[in-house]
Each structure stands twice: as C-alpha cells, then as structure tokens.
Chains A and B, each alone.
Chain A
Amino acid sequence: MPAFVDIHDVTHVYAGAEDGAPAVQDLNIKVMEGEFAAVVGPSGCGKSTLMKLATGLQFPAKGTVIVDGREVGAPVKIAGMAFQNPTMLPWRTTLQNLLLPLEVVQPHRSRLRSNRAEYVAKAEALLEQVGLKGQGSKYPWQLSGGMQQRASLCRALIHEPKLLMLDEPFGALDAFTREELWCVIRDLHAAQRFTVVLVTHDLREAVFLADRIFCMSSRPGRIIAEREVDLPRPRDLEVTYTQPFMDIVHELRAHIAHARVAA
C-alpha cells in the first residue's frame, strides 16, 4: 500500500534564509492512511517546515512530497490545521469561526448558504464532542486558552479533512487540560480515522497518541529515528504510567539528547 503522506529526500531552503542554509535536508517520512504520526525534535529543527511542506504551503527545493497519491504543487485543500496559537478570528463568534473553512472549501462553499442549518448542527455536534456544548455563540476572547484550543481543533475538523496537521496544539496548556485534550483527539481519531501528523515537544504526548514517531535531528532537520508504538488501543491515560510506555519515552529521550549533542 502506498503511503498517504510521502516526503521523499526533501531538502528545503527558505527564500528568506540569510545564510541560504537548508531548514530540512534529505528528509524522508512515510505515513499510512489513517495512521497517527508524531514528529519530535529539538527546537528549530524544521518541524513546522515539515508541516508546511506536507500541506503545500512551501515547496521543496529538492525531492518530492506526495499526499493522497498526488505530488503536492499547490496547497493541498484536504488538510485541517491547528497550531499552538489557536488563531481564532476575534470578530467572529466561535461558531462562525468553525464555519470558516466551509466558506473556503468546495463543495461546502457553494452549499453553505442554502444548507446552513445542517452545517451549524454539525459544528454544534463537534463542539459538544470536545466539551464546548452551547459555547458556540461566545466570542473566542470570552473563552479560556484551553477552550479556544478545543474550538481550534473543531475548526480543523469541520470540513472532514482526510489529513489533520497539528503543530504543537497543546503546547501552551496546563498539564490537566493537555491530557484531557489528548483524550479528545484520541477519540476523534478513533471515530473518524483521518490521518494525523502531530508535531510536539512532549514525548509522553507523542507516545500516548501516535502509532509511529519520527525523531528529527537539529537543523538542518533529518529523521534520525523512527519508532512504531505498539501499545494496544484504545489507550487509557493509565497507560502512561506503565513500564512499556516509559521505556518508549526513555528511548526517544535518548535519541533527542543525542541529536542535541550532535548539533
């Protein structure tokens, strides 16, 4: 079976990079359809760059990026994205923020006006799934950081993307909220089986959520280790206190430490 996201021998240099040094070099990543992949690595190693390459926001200087069987030559249109910063638009209510992707992506774009009630119901159902029932009429700035992050997840999912790209979405949250959201995203993934690429600094988060973890070296980023996580699903938060879980975390930690020393 061909990979859903296939980044092959990619080297990327930003147009604005002063030294002309690549942000990532000879990067290779394969993620299967429906798989939950996590990417960990030291700061500045090119994780966000990887996300931009996979979604067609940047194009590689060398190598190929294939998503869903097609080489990426323009923004992919099938991806939902969420970042560390929730980036909700403050002049729209939470519900209106959720509907924003539908105003852009076809076929929803042309259907939205005539089928608004149906879409609103869908958005409200999503809000309920992430624990924001009835909060749709509030403005984002009336919500806490954790609530905004939940809403941002909903916005990434509203158009039922086949690919969900998460760039440190839980980075700014407290430990409890973070673990709660782990479970939210775990359940959403279990129910809908989209493909996920999650960038994170938190090794426990990666091991808890992912089927496959990629470790990157420091800049220019390459993959220095790939680890399959075979912990059985569904996983409960309790699993994070078991020995096999901690073994994997330790193993990853060693890779990262190695990558940082090598820098």
Chain B
Amino acid sequence: MSRRRRDRSLALAPWLFTIGFFLLWEIGCRAFKISSYVLPPPSAILEALWQYRTQIGYHSFHTLWMTLAGFGLAVGFGLLLGMALGASRFVNAGTYPLLVGFNAVPKVAVVPILVIWFGVGWQAPVLTAFMISFFPIVVNVATGLATIEPEAEDVLRALGASKRDIIVKVGIPRSMPYFFGSLKVAITLAYVGSVIGEYNASNVGVGNLMARASADFNVPLLFAALIALAVLGVVMYAITVIVERRMTGWAQRSNFAAA
C-alpha cells in the first residue's frame, strides 16, 4: 500500500469503526427482537434525540457550564497547590497523606453533604466536578516541578540564582507538559463529577434529565441523553488535546519525559 493511501485509510478508520458499531447494534436489536425498554436500537435513540432536542440541548448546555466551572476551579487550585507541593518538600511531606486520603473518598459519597450545605442547585455539580478533578492536576504539576534535573539546577545555582529564579525559569516551563497532560484526565473527571452532582442535587442538567427519564422509564430518552453526554465529552477532550499540542509542542518533538 502506498503511503498516501495508508494515511487516508487511517483517517477513515475511526469513521468506519464507529458506523460499524452502530450498524451492528441496530442489526442485533432487530434480529433478536430486543425490546426498546431494555436496549433501544440506534434508530430509536436518534428519533428520541430529535424529539427531545430542545430539552437535551438546554440541559447539555447547563452540564457544560457546570463542568467548565468545576474544571476551572480545579485548574486554578490544582496549579497553586501543585506548585506549593513541588516547590517545598515540607508542604509536600505534610499534605501527602491528607491528599491521598481525600482522593480515596468516592466523591458520590460527598454529594449528600453538599446537598445539606447548599441545597439543590448549581453548587453541588460544580463542587463535585471540582473535587473529583483537581487531584491529577496537583500531582502532575508537583511532579514536573520536583523532577528538575539536578544538573540544570546546579548550572543556575552556581550563578547565584535564587530558588524563585529556578522555579520561574526551569520549574514552571518544564511542568507545563505535565500540567496540560493532566487536563485531559481532569476534564473527563470533572464531567463525571458534574453529572453525578446534577443527578443527585439539581433541577437542570443532563444528569437531572436522566434521573427524571429513569423515573418515567423513558429508556429511549435515557439513551439519547447518554449519546449527548458522549458527544459533549469527546468534544471537550478533543479541545484539551488541541490546547496541549499548541502549548507544549516542544515536549512532544523533543521526546520530553512527561506523561
């Protein structure tokens, strides 16, 4: 196969497999006469998507906002805490058990507390998204700062560079690939968090829509909402990947040892 043709078939492959997947699903549902209440075929889901398009659009938009708000908080907080952890061994050693303990708590279990504190509204989804997604950012930023090559540090220290100089000139730029790498994980987690929050403690959002659809046994709507979630998730993930490429292209081209 010529190189051109191989490149083109590689570009086509994702479409081929995605369409194939839904085709198989459709054929399976029809062949085995599976009830729409158990597993609706893609055609039924598509129909539901169209039928509920305004609802789904409205709630998706809300979910997007909740996710981005939680994610934004996580980025700000994660950067600050990650830098503190990476710059100071003392802070690192001190907060390590706390952080690990916090991360170990399933965030769904925190939602009831948020409901008690804030009631039903935007707070629970945003805070759940934040709590679930800041951890990878903290860890990655701290790692990038803490793993400066000792020789690069020596070169600067022998010139009389202060700790701050070293962090600004070496630490922060070199932790950027770690940071942007962690955003991919964080955005996905924030999304999970906001949907969980909406499911349990909100009157709007895709999570809430699904909670109501589930109570009504509206299975096609449930699946339509799932598809909407998947599309939205893929779009957000793709955007962070593009941002990562833009910001830290040097890391990929130089085989820099970041995640």
Spell out A's residues near B (CB within 8 Å): 52, 55-57, 74-77, 79-83, 85, 87, 89-91, 100-101, 103-105, 139-141, 155-156, 159, 165
Contact = CB atoms under 8 A, between A and B. Distances in A.
Interface in B218-258: 248, 250-251, 253-256
A80 B157 CA distance: 10
Which of B155, B248, B255, B256 counts the most A-chain CB atoms under 10 A from its CB?
B155
Nearest to A161: B159
B160 interface: yes
Interface string B169-195: 110011010000000000000000000
Contact of A75 (B158, B173, B176, B256): B158
Given A57-B154, A89-B170, A141-B253, A101 B149 contact: no
Contact of B159 (A75, A90, A139): A75
Of all A-B residue pairs in the complex, the 10 with the closest CB atoms, nearest first, are A141-B254, A77-B160, A90-B254, A55-B158, A87-B152, A104-B161, A104-B159, A87-B151, A91-B250, A83-B151
A79 B151 contact: no
Contact of B156 (A85, A104, A140, A141): A104
B256 A104 contact: no
Contacts of B176: 91
Contacts of B156: 100-101, 104
B155 A75 contact: no
Contacts of A103: 165, 169
A105 B160 contact: yes
A181 B109 CA distance: 64
Nearest to B250: A91
A141 B156 CA distance: 20
Interface residues of B, number: 24
The binding surface of chain B is classed by DSSP as helix
Nearest to A93: B250
A101 B159 contact: yes
Contacts of B160: 74-77, 104-105
Which of B149, B154, B161, B255 counts the most A-chain CB atoms under 10 A from its CB?
B154
B159 A79 contact: yes
Interface of B: 149, 151-152, 154-161, 165, 169-170, 173-174, 176, 248, 250-251, 253-256
29 contacts: A55-B154, A55-B158, A56-B158, A74-B160, A75-B157, A75-B160, A77-B160, A79-B158, A79-B159, A81-B154, A87-B149, A87-B151, A89-B152, A89-B169, A89-B173, A89-B174, A90-B251, A91-B173, A100-B156, A101-B155, A103-B169, A104-B156, A104-B160, A139-B254, A140-B254, A141-B253, A141-B255, A159-B159, A165-B158
Nearest to B165: A104
Nearest to B158: A55
Contacts of B157: 57, 75
Nearest to B256: A90
Contacts of A139: 250, 253-254
A138 to B, nearest CB: 12
Contacts of B165: 103-104
A81 B155 contact: yes
A75 B160 CA distance: 6
A100 to B, nearest CB: 7
Nearest to A52: B154
A100 B169 contact: yes
Which of B156, B248, B251, B253 counts the most A-chain CB atoms under 10 A from its CB?
B156
Contacts of A80: 158-159
Given A89-B170, A89-B173, A91-B173, A81 B254 contact: no
Nearest to B156: A104
